[in-house]
Structure 1
Amino acid sequence: MVRFSKTSNPAFSNYFWNDRKSSNEKMTVSGIFIKCMCCIAIVASITAYIWKLYSDGFDVEWFTYGGMIAALIISIIISYKQLWAPVLVPLYAIAKGCFLGGISSYTYAKFPNMPYQAIGVTIITFFTILVLYQTRIIVVTKKLRSVIISSAASIFLVYIISWILSFFGIKSFVWGVSWIAIGFNIIAAIVASLTLLLDFDYIERQKNRAPKSKEWFATWGLLVSLIWLYVEILRLMKKLAIRF
């Protein structure tokens, strides 16, 4: 069994790629692309639906928090039940659609067109990172990989601690609009974009090697990175709009 290297995205860890069953079909970039497009379509459709509900006067708070919690639970299940990925990944897309629909509609109510702008910036960032990787302007080295993994883990820890503190009425700096909060948000957005760089590198090295079924895990990983990037960009734009 080949031992694959690690990446910052949990969906691309060794655990997921360690398949004891042999398979003649191998993972392909085209297969991942098709699955990603389908899942992104699901996310966009659900987001638009929740957005419409909010515009019609419905309270979508339960959709927002429910989607966030459901996505977390589904991610944990996928971590332990690999074979369920073909079903769980679309469900993850639905859950994230509910979450994004809520936060996007809230933002749109105060800052019209901002969600569209955030989507545009996310798409531009995605292709920029892809070009930087394909042209080898940025080379993924072991040191760079370690830095990104450490940074992503640190940001995740800060968010978890801030979320826990909120239950005790303590508002963390990450939710404010101070320059420190904005600076943290910028760093988080940069790290989120760089996790895409690592994922591109991992997929390229494992294409035509990993089993075909692993395309669903690759799809899940890219969704995690893209949605995180969009959320960070949206939050950053909102903070800047409030600040100025």
Structure 2
Amino acid sequence: MEFKSSNPFLKENKFKNTSRTNDEAIAVHQETMTVSGTINKSFTMLFMLLSTALVSWWLVGNGYNPMIFTIGGGIVGLILVLIASFKPTTSPYTAPAYALFEGLFIGGLSAVFEAMYPGLVIQAVSATFITFLVCFGLYKYNIVKVTETFKSVVIGATMAIFAFYLISWIASMFMTFQPIHQGNSLMSIGISVFVIIVAALNLFLDFDMIEKGSKTGAPKYMEWFASMGLMITLVWLYVEFLRLFAKLSSRD
């Protein structure tokens, strides 16, 4: 069995279904997906996300309920992810919208954590940025190669994590207990570290799929699609860093 990217946005079949032949790609190069175009759109989405994150952060600081932005932004963001996943051609519209609403989610969530543990947000931002740079450098210089075995391990671990989170969430609705990944025990901290490692490994799969998409001559809108997928991984990584640092801070 051939495993692909665990990021639902960067499934290879989506690029295959929209890619052109080599001759067609050369003839309409300006209309096809490129790595540089994807990078530019990723920076655009990051700027949009940070803008709305700052807005929700400021509003929470001025007395607004952070849950409005955290829950509202998260739900709308998820809906946009599902729409783009089933219909990639909508990515030029859903991807920017996702960045805006996910920014509201990130801003509200960050404000909550910062209120509990001052200085936590800058630590999580720095850790996410450094992790991204390290992973990008390792991929760019072929220090880490994305083989089929690598993909299998990362996808298996990612599926296990989300299954574990889902089962714990459902169980908590019917039972009064604290899942082992919550709290500040050494076991909980160890789980957070593991999840962060898996999230970081997903970046390699994202880089690989973006490169392959550009080589196969995927349509230009796939740049937005790929950028959205990369942004999903970065948001996941940032949230997990927030959780880890909060656990460590609560033990002081």
TM above 0.5, one fold?
A: yes
**More deviation in 47-56 or 72-81?**
72-81
- Counterpart AA for 1:141: T
Residue number in structure 1 paired with 2:5: 7
2-structure distance, mates of 1:29, 1:5: 23
8 Å CA contact 1:165, 1:171 repeated in 2: no
Residue number in structure 2 paired with 1:229: 237
Q: 1:161 aligns with which of 167, 172, 181?
A: 167
1:155 positional shift = 0.6
2-structure distance, mates of 1:31, 1:93: 17
Q: How has the CA–CA distance of structure 1 residues 31 and 5 changed in structure 2, closer, same or farther, with 3 Å as cutoff? A: farther
Pairing 1:133-212 to 2, within 5 Å after superposition: 133-168=139-174, 169-209=176-216, 210-212=218-220
1-structure distance, mates of 2:178, 2:79: 25
Residue number in structure 1 paired with 2:248: 240
- Per-residue CA deviations over 1:134-159 (Å, capped at 9, x if unaligned) read 22221211111100000011111111
Question: What SS does the aligned partner of 2:76 have?
Answer: helix
Residue number in structure 2 paired with 1:128: 134
Q: 1:45 aligns with which of 51, 62, 70?
A: 51
* Percent of aligned pairs sharing the same letter: 40
Show structure 2 runs of 5+ residues with no match.
none
2-structure distance, mates of 1:173, 1:96: 27
- Counterpart AA for 1:191: V
1:54 positional shift = 1.1
1:15 positional shift = 4.1
Calculate the TM-score normalised by the size of structure 1: 0.93
Q: How has the CA–CA distance of structure 1 residues 171 and 197 changed in structure 2, closer, same or farther, with 3 Å as cutoff? A: same
Question: What SS does the aligned partner of 1:174 have?
Answer: coil
Matched pairs, number: 241
Tell me how large the CA RMSD over aligned residues is.
Answer: 1.8
8 Å CA contact 2:12, 2:209 repeated in 1: no
1:78 positional shift = 1.1
Show structure 1 runs of 5+ residues with no match.
none
Residue number in structure 2 paired with 1:213: 221
8 Å CA contact 2:114, 2:120 repeated in 1: yes
1:126 positional shift = 0.3
- Per-residue CA deviations over 1:114-149 (Å, capped at 9, x if unaligned) read 111111111111010011112222121111110000
2-structure distance, mates of 1:5, 1:147: 9
- Per-residue CA deviations over 1:31-57 (Å, capped at 9, x if unaligned) read 111111111111101111111111111
2-structure distance, mates of 1:158, 1:207: 34
1:197 positional shift = 0.8
1-structure distance, mates of 2:181, 2:73: 22
- Per-residue CA deviations over 1:155-179 (Å, capped at 9, x if unaligned) read 1111112222232344312222111
1:194 positional shift = 0.6
The higher-RCO structure (CA 8 Å, 6+ apart) is 2
